[in-house]
Amino acid sequence: MDAVDVVQRFNAAINERDLTELASLMSDDHTFIDTAGNTVSGKGACIEAWRAFFAAFADYRNVFIDLTVGDEVVSVSGYSLCSRPELAGPALWTARVTGGLVGEWRLHTDSPAARRELGLPPGGLV
């Protein structure tokens, strides 16, 4: 399975709130980083963080528009849907994929500078 397939499966698991599938796609040293730089490290801790997130925001979903692959990193632009306005709107993600597993899932604020840095097309939904 290539890196793009892994990232699409990972996002599908998020959208379906499928912790078993998410766990199967995480490396043991998986790290999650949000737009503020807050970090959750380790597969077990990340699974528990997702469990709490899903319980708090049951209608959260990600929609991918563009995916760009470079080395072991997949950069994604799109948007999130959620009844909580602070979680809805344009978003950028990166996923470091090694050996068919996501080692890092990172959220980025959608900005022209971030798009350039991540090698994503200009524009966006802002």
The pLDDT of residue 105 is 98
Phi first, then psi, for residue 18 (nearest 5°) are -100, 90
Residue 107 carries which side chain, given as an amino acid letter? L
The pLDDT of residue 45 is 98
The pLDDT of residue 123 is 74
Instruction: Please determine, for residue 125, whether its predicted confidence score (pLDDT) is greater than 80.
Output: no
The 10s digit of each residue's pLDDT in 58-110 is 999 999 999 999 878 999 999 999 999 999 999 999 999 999 999 999 999 99
Of residues 7 and 71, more confidence is placed in: 7
Strand, helix or coil at 54?
helix
pLDDT, averaged across the chain: 94
Instruction: Please determine, for residue 126, whether its predicted confidence score (pLDDT) is greater than 50.
Output: no
DSSP for 70-121? ETTEEEEEEEEE-SSGGG-EEEEEEEEEETTEEEEEEEE---HHHHHHHTPP
Query: What is this structure's pTM?
Result: 0.93
